[in-house]
Amino acid sequence: MQERHLIVGLGNPGPRYRATRHNAGFMVVERLAAEAGLEWRSDHRFRSRLAAGRWQDRPVLLVEPLTYMNASGEAVGPLVRYYRTPLERLLVVVDDADLPLGRLRLRPGGSSGGHHGLESVERHLGTREFPRLRVGIGRRPEAGREITNHVLGVFSPAEREWLEPVLDRAVAQIGCWLTRGIAEAMNRYNGIVPILNRNEGNEA
C-alpha cells in the first residue's frame, strides 16, 4: 500500500483573509484540490479543513489549518502524529515576502526565515527538517521590515494576473514532488515563473 502524503497550505481562515497575500499557501492547496476533484470538509478534531483523495495515483491529504497562521503547528503536529506521516512525505506551502512575486522555492528543510507559520510548525514537530514550498509575494521596499499591512493586503489586479500561472506552476511542482521526488521537483520548477511581457528570466 502506498503511503499517504500530507500537503499543508498555511494561511488565515475566513472571508476577511481569503484573497490576501498571506494566504498564498491556501490558494495553492485549493488549486490542487480543484484539479484533483477533491472535496473539502471541516474536521474539528484537527482544527483544519481536509481534502482526501489521490493525485496522479498517489494518496494525498490536503490540509488548511483553521488555527490562524501563527498557531499553524497546533493543527499540523497532531495530524502528522495521527497519520504517522514520515516527515519526507509532509509538504508545507507558505507565502514568502523575501522572495519576489512569482518565484517558487522548494527545499527539503531549513530555517523558517522569520515566517511565524513555519515557526509554529517547526515548534510543534520539534524539527526544521521537513519539505517546504515558498511562494514569493514580494514586499514594498519603503516598508522596511514592517510588512504586516502588506502580507494581510489583497493582491492587486496586476499581481493577481501573475498569480494565476504561479499557482499552476506550484501545483505542477507538487505533482513532480509526489511522483519523482524532491530533487527533480527543485531542479525543474524552482525559480521565477515566466510570464508573458515580463523581463524577469528563469532562475533555478
Torsion of CA 177, 183, 132, 100, to 10 degrees: -110
Q: What ranges in the chain are assigned the alpha helix state H?
A: 24-36, 73-82, 116-125, 148-151, 157-180, 182-189
- 22 belongs to the catalytic site: yes
How far from each other are the two terminal CA atoms of the chain, in whole angstroms?
A: 34
Q: Can you tell me which residue has the cell 481536509?
A: 50
* Cα-Cα-Cα-Cα dihedral sign, residues 71, 74, 79, 81: positive
CA distance 15 to 69: 15
Considering only CA atoms, which of 75, 66, 65, 63 is closest in space to residue 5?
63
Which is catalytic among the residues 5, 22, 115, 124?
Answer: 22
* Active centre residues (catalytic): 22
